[in-house]
Amino acid sequence: MSNLKSADQFKLSFREEAREILVDLEAALLELNENRADDELVGRVFRALHTIKGSGAMFGFEVLAAFTHNLETAFDEVRNGRLQVTPELVDLTLSAMDQIRAMLEEREGAGEPVACAGILARVRSLAGIGSASQSAQTGLGSPPQAAGGPIRQWAIHFAPGPEFLLNGSNPLLLIAELRQLGGLAVKASMDAIPPLDELDPERCYIAWDMVLAGAADRDAIRDVFIFVEDSCELRIEPIAGTEEPRPEPGPASADAVAIAMEEPRTSAGGRRTYDKPDNASSLRVPAARLDQFVDLVGELVTVQARLAELSARRDDPEVAGVAEEIERLTSALRETSMNIRMLPIRSTFEKFRRLVHDLARDLGKDVELTMEGAETELDKTVIDQLGDPLMHLIRNSMDHGIEPPQVRLERGKRANAKIHLSARHSGASVLITVCDDGGGIDAEAVRRRAIEKGLLAVNAQLSEAETFALLFQPGFSTAKQITDVSGRGVGMDVVRQRVESLRGTIEVASKPGLGTSVTLRLPLTMAIIEGLLVSVEDACFVLPMASTLECVELSTRDIEQANGKHVAPIRGEVVPYIRLREHFGLRTPRPELEQIMVVESGEGRFGFVVDRVLGNCQTVIKSLGRYYRHVQAVSGATILGDGRVALILDPDRLVQDAVRVRTRNQAARASPQASPPQPHGAVRQPEGKAVRS
Amino acid sequence: MGIALEGSDAESVVRLDGAIDIASAAELKARLLEALSSGTGVRVSLEGARYLDATAVQLLWAAGRQARRSGVPFQLSGQLPDPLWAALADAGLQLFAIPVNAV
């Protein structure tokens, strides 16, 4: 059975699905805590639990399924109006979710009786469910609960597709699960089974027509098929005249079955309907396969660059035509492959609802989390690595930024504090901001602490941004006491390291008494960028196209008019520039006519003076490796069509680097005792682990 | 677990043992075709079967139908374990419905 996926793959697939369901469940629970009478939210929680239970049993997570069954029962009681939603029930369910998560990961100790017993005992006590042993025994095969809602009959047509069995799905188990929702009459149709010698033994030719009688709604029925809906034909239609409450939810009558089997499955409008969800056309692809695809596109881009180079040298119109066509297609393919990797940041943001809820409870603070721009899309690699930095920023904000309610009231603030998470695009970057309305950062305390720790000279003059940047130094903390939440000075260092590894920057703004905002500026993509190839002497560099505004000539006359200052008048604005020749320590004389590449950086408009602009190019970013990790102005390297290596410049960091050197040199000239001026002339890392603001 | 074909002048017996599912479906098909082409009556022994899935049921169904069309005696023998019988019945896959010839 080479086509068959292994059991491990199915478990993996279930885990992925279940993790997503748990994220939704968590969000629904936290919303439910705010709106306790919202039936829709109760239904959402119930369906999530039901799906985890049913599918868990199907994929061999029996303990998880039995455990979840109790929670499902509790929320069924809520659905039926016999149990109230209370903060206790929400907290209990959140704790149970953590257990489920641990069971999913098959962590050591997860699902053990001791770990689960406390939660289950409280759930059962709240919901008035029977004893543990009873629950365990009846957990999965228990008869349908007496339904409180109206009894309806549903005609269900279920026809597995050609790949259904190969995916490891079992129609018998699905039908057994459906039976738990109410009385079920089943008719299997064998009409499509071909002659034995033509029959594909791994394909399911049987289709089922069923009638379900019970309180289950369409969503609950669909949830049974949630993992297979893309590989089967599924129609769920109410049987007319069964909307009214019925006395018994027992097995469907023979008449009803006969009617349901004979009636054509048409909607009210007479059109045949297929009850597929909107996302039925989407496909789940393992991330590793996607990475491999993007790597191959990267290789293709490199080969295309070689072809373009070859075509330019050959001067053959036919070759040039093919090369241009390949370039166009490669560009489109690159764009498409990059888009495939883009994901909305919502799922990462949503995870923090729980963190804020739990921390607020533990710290005795009242904090509301608001979000903006959760649909903003980022490269999957960036999203995957954002969770930790954001978690540390939020924990820090909750612990140190936001004051206890009493203090807030004394300061004339609302007791209810706010943390606002936002994401938005800005050119080739995305800006993620964590903003709170807490007490703000005490810049003087940061300064004092830095001096105490020997990070700063006593007479050092720092801008506000430079002062706040100290917060991200390893081991730096101004917290007077270490708590469970933060204060060890580790978190902010993690934020800095992670953001730097993503080629991002951190900006901190804070107003005493009003709050703090930390903005992470991250690149949109991590793999291939559109770049401008420039040369200085024999060296080639790539500037990201997205941050480049324009290219203008810089003549000797322009330089003379500026009286030796590194500025040029461009469109009525005086734009400072960095001459890469000088910055990188190249000693050869500059040409008569140079080019200024004007970029938009975090410091405003800036120019980079180069010898020549060679043209635009698709650039596959190759890491420079650990040895060059402190070379901040260079974000990677790429291989050109002729085999040469070009460094990819990071305009933001280049500008910051130049500004820092210039400021330091100016300060050195003003104070001869301070460190000697540093020359321009090398891509440098001033202090090994410098912190950028 | 396994599928065996035993033949005599009067009858070919396809013996099912253990779990018969998609992993053994190709083999079951081959044995059924072999039995049906033997020129004798066919009996499928379910005595040792502990599990049958949809692939097994549809193969038995197709084999029974082919036997009937070609006038070959075809029968199922042996009792399925209760849980298996119930699971198949719950899914509308009662084996008695297989279109067999009167033996």
Is A516 a residue whose pLDDT tops 80?
A: yes
Q: What is the 3-state secondary structure (H, E, C) of A402-455?
A: CCCHHHHHHCCCCCCEEEEEEEEEECCEEEEEEEECCCCCCHHHHHHHHHHCCC
Asked if B33's CB is within 8 angstroms of A188's CB, the reply is no
Task: Tell me which of A503, A523, A543 is where a domain ends.
Answer: A523
Q: How many CB atoms lie within 10 A of CB A526?
A: 21
Residue A685 or A589, more confident: A589
Do residues A254 and A302 both lie within one domain? no
Mean pLDDT of A119-134: 62
Can you tell me the distance from the alpha carbon of A130 to that of A622, in angstroms, rounded to the nearest whole number?
A: 61
Q: What total of structural domains would you count in chain A?
A: 5
pLDDT average, residue stretch A258-276: 36
Which H or E run contains A170?
none
Mean pLDDT of A251-260: 43
Last residue of a domain, one of A474, A504, A523: A523
User: Quick one: tokens of A93?
Assistant: 């369910």
- Element holding A461 (H helix, E strand): none
Burial A338-366 (b: 16+ CB within 10 A, else e): beebebebbbbbbebbbbbbebbeebebe
Domain contains A280: no
Question: What does the pLDDT look like over A570-584, one tens digit per residue?
Answer: 877 889 999 999 888
For the whole model, what pTM was predicted?
A: 0.49
Checking if the pLDDT of A139 tops 50, the result is no
The whole-number average pLDDT for the span A613-637 is: 75
Q: Which of B18, B21, B79, B91 is nearest to B50 (CA)?
A: B18
Mutation choice for A interface testing from B72, B93, B95 by most A CBs within 10 A: B93
Q: Give the mean model confidence (pLDDT) for residues A630-656.
A: 81
Distances (CA, A) of A11 to A222, A224, A380: 21, 17, 23
pLDDT at A463: 81
Same domain, A368 and A335: no
Considering only CB atoms, B55 lies closest to which of A184, A201, A208, namely A201
Contact B92 A1 (CB under 8 A): no
Q: Is residue A273 in some structural domain? A: no
What distance lies between CA A34 and its chain's CA centroid? 25
Q: Does A321 share its domain with A359?
A: no
| Closest partner CB to B90 (pick from A166, A176, A202) | A176
Asked if pLDDT for residue A588 goes beyond 90, the answer is no
In a domain, A585, yes or no: yes
- Which residue from A406, A396, A378, A471 is spatially nearest to A436, judged by alpha carbons? A396
Residues of A in contact with B63 (CB under 8 A): 196
- The answer as to whether A683 is a domain residue is no
Task: Output the domain CATH number for residue A631.
Answer: 2.40.50.180
Better-scored residue on pLDDT, B27 or A586? B27
Q: Does the pLDDT value for residue A110 go beyond 80?
A: no
| Residues A227-243 pLDDT 10s | 888 889 999 988 765 44
A369 lies in the same domain as A485: yes
Find where tokens 């975090």 sit: A602
Least confident of A50-59, A258-267, A305-314, A400-409: A258-267
* Residues of chain A above pLDDT 90, percent: 14
Enumerate the residues of chain A whose CB falls inside 8 A of the CB of residue B61.
190, 193
Instruction: Let me know the angle formed at the C-alpha of B27 by B21 and B33, rounded to the nearest 5 degrees.
Output: 120
Within 8 A of B42 by CB-CB distance, chain A residues are none
Closest to A638 in 3D by CA, of A289, A304, A320, A287:
A304
**Amino acid present at A375:** E
Q: Is B28 on the interface with A (CB under 8 A)?
A: yes
Average pLDDT, chain A: 77
Instruction: Break chain B into its structural domains and give their ranges.
Output: 2-97
List chain B pLDDT tens, one digit each, 103 residues: 689 999 888 889 999 999 998 999 999 999 999 999 998 989 999 888 988 999 999 999 899 888 877 878 888 888 778 778 778 878 888 776 565 543 3
pLDDT tens string A40-93: 888 888 888 887 877 776 666 777 887 888 888 888 888 878 888 888 888 889
Kindly state the percentage of chain A with pLDDT values over 70. 78
Tell me the pairing of strands A528-536 and A515-523.
Answer: unpaired
User: What pLDDT score does A8 carry?
Assistant: 65
Q: Where are the alpha helices (DSSP H) in A108-157?
A: 113-127, 132-138
Question: Are A539 and A645 within 8 A, CB to CB?
Answer: no
In a domain, A557, yes or no: yes
Question: Which among B14, B22, B65, B100 is the top mutation candidate for probing chain A, defined by the most A β-carbons within 10 Å of its own β-carbon?
Answer: B22
User: What was the pLDDT predicted at A158?
Assistant: 94
**CB–CB contact B91 A175 (8 Å):** yes
The mean per-residue pLDDT over the stretch A258-287 comes to 45
Q: Is residue A366 located within the same domain as residue A514?
A: yes
Distance CA A637, CA A610 (A): 18
pLDDT digits (tens, 9 = 90+) for A338-388: 778 788 888 888 888 888 988 898 889 999 999 998 888 888 878 888 888
Query: Would you put residue A359 in left (φ > 0), alpha (ψ -120 to 50) or beta?
Result: alpha
Residue A294 lies in a domain: yes
A143 has a pLDDT exceeding 80:
no
Report DSSP state, residue A182: S
The band of A611, judged by pLDDT with boundaries at 50, 70 and 90, is: very high
Q: Are residues A81 and A122 in the same domain?
A: yes
Q: Are residues A371 and A519 in the same domain?
A: yes
Statement: residue A251 has pLDDT above 60: no
Mean pLDDT of A249-258: 43
- Contact residues, chain B, for A187 at CB < 8 Å: 92
In whole angstroms, give the CA distance from residue A45 to residue A380. 28
Element (DSSP H or E) covering residue A571: none
Of A492 and A405, more confident: A405
Strand ranges across the sheet with A604-610: A548-554, A594-601, A604-610, A573-579, A567-570
Local confidence band at A278 (pLDDT 50, 70, 90 cut-offs): very low
pLDDT digits (tens, 9 = 90+) for A333-349: 887 887 787 888 888 88
Based on the fold, state whether residues A195 and A56 are members of the same structural domain.
no
Q: Is residue A45 part of a domain?
A: yes
d(CA A58, CA A136): 17
Based on the fold, state whether residues A293 and A313 are members of the same structural domain.
yes
Pairwise CB contact (< 8 Å): A196 & B33: yes
Of A1, A4, A171, the CB nearest to B54: A171
Indicate if A120 and A163 belong to the same structural domain. Answer: no
Task: Report the range of poorest mean pLDDT among A82-91, A130-139, A160-169.
Answer: A130-139
Task: Using DSSP, state whether A534 is helix, strand or coil.
Answer: strand
Q: Does residue A657 share a domain with residue A564?
A: yes
The reported pLDDT for the residue numbered A252 is: 44
Residue of A nearest to B29 (CA): A201
Of A170, A196, A204, which has the smallest distance from its Cβ to B63's Cβ?
A196
Q: In which domain, by residue range, is A308 found? A: 288-341
Length of chain B equals 103
In chain B, residues with a C-beta closer than 8 Å to the C-beta of A166 are: 22
The verdict on A368 and A499 lying in the same domain is yes
3-state class of A620 per DSSP? strand
Contact A505, A692 (CB under 8 A): yes
Residue A276 belongs to some domain of the structure: no
In 3-state terms, what secondary structure has residue A158?
strand
CATH superfamily to which B2-97 belongs: STAS domain (3.30.750.24)
Please check the confidence at residue A687 and state whether its pLDDT lies above 80: no
Query: Which spans in A568-650 are helix H?
Result: 580-583
The token duo for A349 is: 């943001």
Kindly report the CATH number assigned to the domain that includes residue A302.
1.10.287
Is the confidence metric ipTM above 0.90 for this complex?
yes
Burial tier of A92 (Cβ tally within 10 Å: 0-12, 13-18, 19+): buried
- How far are the Cα atoms of A44, A234, A466 from residue B55, in angstroms, in the given order? 35, 20, 70
